[in-house]
Chain A
């Protein structure tokens, strides 16, 4: 089946630094990918839609200057958390739709900002 790979799975960074998270579709092309954030014991909340070759679309309340999204190729989207602060600590996970009936997720990235 279709596979989405996300890296790194865990990252600890110092406050004020930036962290880049990669999301790759391994066996299909994804013109659109999605980024979600999940706080402990809560649901997944859509942050933004990553569009290959154009600007990402951010959900209301998501700071686009803090969460930079780049979709440089049909198989790779990156999320960069800039100037990270402890409140940005969360589980970030990407998804892609190879077809309407299936949405696959990456393994997720657990970000801890200290």
Chain B
């Protein structure tokens, strides 16, 4: 069975500093994708970054980077130069790739990030 674990219910970070949000996963699928989403209070799910299980390099998208350690089954999100607008709930999610279940996202519990001015 697939499982995503986010062990940090809440995090604080000072504006302009970097922050790491933890995510570990468990899956028996040979190929899978890992996603991070931001959910502000409005409820919308904003796609941030994607990492494929066979990607050799860690994914980066602007201020977001994914620290992917396959052997440890972790996919931590790093946000650099935090901004007040980064305050939101962040979800790590996983989906199998190349199977009939591709597209089904399994989510972690989420981490609430608050950026302090």
Contact = CB atoms under 8 A, between A and B. Distances in A.
A110 B43 CA distance: 9
Contacts of A101: 33, 50, 52
B26 to A, nearest CB: 16
B104 A104 contact: no
- Interface residues of A toward B: which range? 20 to 34
B43 A107 contact: yes
Interface stretch (B13-21, B62-70, B73-81, B106-114): B106-114
A97 to B, nearest CB: 4
A43 B108 CA distance: 7
Given A43-B107, A43-B110, A102-B50, A93 B102 contact: no
Nearest to B105: A103
Interface string B43-56: 11101001010000
A95 B93 CA distance: 13
A56 interface: no
B115 interface: no
Interface string A74-114: 00000000000000000101011100111111011010000
Given A34-B103, A91-B43, A103-B103, A44 B91 contact: yes
20 contacts: A34-B103, A34-B104, A38-B43, A42-B109, A43-B107, A43-B108, A43-B110, A44-B45, A93-B43, A93-B45, A95-B45, A96-B103, A100-B97, A101-B50, A102-B47, A102-B50, A103-B47, A105-B37, A108-B44, A110-B43
